[in-house]
Each structure stands twice: as C-alpha cells, then as structure tokens.
Amino acid sequence: MPSIITEGAMSAQGYGFGRKAGGAVGTVGIFALGITGTASTTRNKYTFATCTSTSAASASAASYNGSAAGNSTRGIFALGYVCGVGRSTTRNKYTYACCTSTASGVGAASCASQNGSAAGNSTRGIFALGFVPGGGPSTTRNKYTFATCTSTSAASASAASQFGSAAGNSTRGIFALGIVSGVGQSTTRDKYTYACCTSTASVGAASAASCGGSAAGNSTRGIFALGDVSGVGQSTTRDKYTYACCSITAGVGAASAASCGGSAAGNSTRGIFALGDVFCVGRSTTRNKYTYACCSSTASGVGAASCGSCRGSAASNGTCGVNV
C-alpha cells in the first residue's frame, strides 16, 4: 500500500459552535478538495439534510494540505501548500450565508506551513501549523479569533509533528499528532483546553500509530479516521474518542474502503468523511456518512465529491457542544 509519507495527505476538520443567525445550525459542510490532479481552488458544499453535494465559492489560490475550523457563520481555511508559492500563511474566510470566500482581512498564520490540523469552538479556532519552512515538523499552534479575524500564538503541541487531525467540542480540541519528529507515525493525542489555552499530552492514545487521517465529532465524541497506519498502510479503521472520560474505542463504523488523505466535517448527528486517496483506486469522490448515535457508517446515498481528490480540508456550520 502506498505510504502517506510519499503519497502525502492531511486533512483537518473544523466544527462550528453556536446558533446560526436566521436559521438552524448544522446545515452545510464546505469541503476544499485539495489535489484533483493538480492543486485546486475547488470547494464543494455538502447539505446534510439531503446528503447532496454542489459547488461552493472557490479558494483564493490553488492549494492542498491545508486545514480548517469554523463556527456557525464562517469557516476559516488555512490553504497550506499554494501552487507556485509553496508553503503559505494565507487563510480564507468562507461565509456560509452567502457562499462567499475572501482572503482579505483574514488573520494570517504566524509562519508559512502545510500539513496542519485544526479544531475550534464558537469563538476561536486552534490551528496546529504542521510543517514549517526551515524547521520541518513543528509544535506551533495559532489561535484564530472569529470575531476579530485575528491570529495569535496558542499553547504548543507536546511534540513537533505534521499530518495530524483534530476534532473537539465546546471546551476542548483533541489533536492526533500524526507523524512526530524523530518518532514517525504516532499514537499520541493532545487535549487542548480552550478556556485556559493549555495543552496536555497523551490523552486517549490512538488504537494504532498513524498519520494522514481525518476527524469529525459532536458534543460527546470525536470520530478519528486513522488514515495511513504504521505497518499496514491505508486503513479503514476509525476510533471513537469520548470526551467525558478521555477514552478510546477502536474500530467503530469502519470506512467503506482503505484510504488516507481525506477530510471531514459534520453536525450534531453525523460526520461526513471524504475518503481521499483510496487503496488501489487513487483519488476518490467517495464520502461516508458516519452516524454518531449508532456508530454506523455508509457510503450509500452520500453526495460524492465533484471530482476525485485528496489532501483537502473541511469545515461546517454544524456545532459541537451547544447545538440545539
């Protein structure tokens, strides 16, 4: 099976919090497709109620290996590797209500980076930068404040890493570190507490060392697709992380195909997982719907991506923690 290190993948996942003005939360997820043959500006809008996928406002530049987090009104997309530029500090603000995207006035990352991950609550998104020029895998995280569109430093990761994934609820974000400098694929996860901007290492370790995964969750659990598993390659394995007890249950609602380099977004009842690079297939249009209540997953009737892709990112106006 191809390795994530050579095949490359990263997704990161953003989940909104709070009631959306003028309507119910958790209606759409925005998927930046990433690589669709080359780096792409393409984004798709996934509508949870109908399980359909349509076009959405494009990114400001063709890119891949980015990350995303958001709240009920907007998603913030760190572009990652930008075609013709390289690793970038650029972020785009995607506004759900009018399906528009802008790079203007959006707090840039503290340094150029790619292969990061992100999670957030109603007021902030926490971005693990991943790989930074001249430094390789990094411990750096940024705190993006939605109200002011500004970015500042945040509590560092427990180890320099890249190709991770993240999900969270209204009080904490859980970051799977992915590839750890000097170690390789890792089982380590960090708990980032929003209220005090602290990070604690080694909470509820993954069931296997892995990288290039994706994650989505609701107020009680985060679902982590492991991606590329050490000694196995592309995998169907997902873990359920329970916030209340910091515990892991392995092998819940497996993916419909072994894959890595996917992305995920969701609302209070389901997570939508774009599989990314599928074993023996390559870049895929397949998405899975993971239903939290019964820990089940299906590829049937789930709106496919507009074209085969991998190394993308996703955010939604679905909420974790206070969705009502």
Residue-wise pLDDT tens digits, 220-273: 999 999 999 999 999 999 999 999 999 999 999 999 999 999 999 999 999 999
Please give the DSSP secondary-structure letter assigned to residue 155.
P
Task: Give the bridge partners for 219, in sequence order.
Answer: none
Architecture of domain 8-319: 6 Propeller (2.120)
Q: Is the pLDDT of residue 21 over 50?
A: no
Tokens of 253: 């609602």
H or E element that contains 318: strand 313-319
Q: Is the pLDDT of residue 175 over 60?
A: yes
Q: Is the pLDDT of residue 18 over 50?
A: no
Separation between Cα atoms, residue 276 and residue 286, nearest integer Å: 8
Separation between Cα atoms, residue 113 and residue 54, nearest integer Å: 29
Q: Is the pLDDT of residue 84 over 50?
A: yes
The b/e string for 212-248 (b: 16+ C-beta within 10 A; e otherwise) is bbbbbbbbebbbbbbbbbbeebbbbbbbbbebeebeb
Domains of the chain, residue spans: 8-319
State the Rg of the chain over Cα.
17
Q: Is the pLDDT of residue 25 over 70?
A: no
Taking the complete model, does pTM exceed 0.85, yes or no? yes
Tokens of 217: 């969750």
* Interval 126-146 mean pLDDT: 96
Q: 307: helix, coil or strand? A: coil
pLDDT band per the 50, 70, 90 thresholds, residue 135:
confident
pLDDT at res. 318: 78
- Please give the mean pLDDT across all residues of the chain: 91
Q: Is the pLDDT of residue 160 over 60?
A: yes
Residue-wise pLDDT tens digits, 200-232: 997 999 999 999 999 999 989 999 999 999 999
pLDDT at res. 319: 57
pLDDT at res. 9: 36
Please say whether the beta carbons of 177 and 158 come within 8 A.
yes
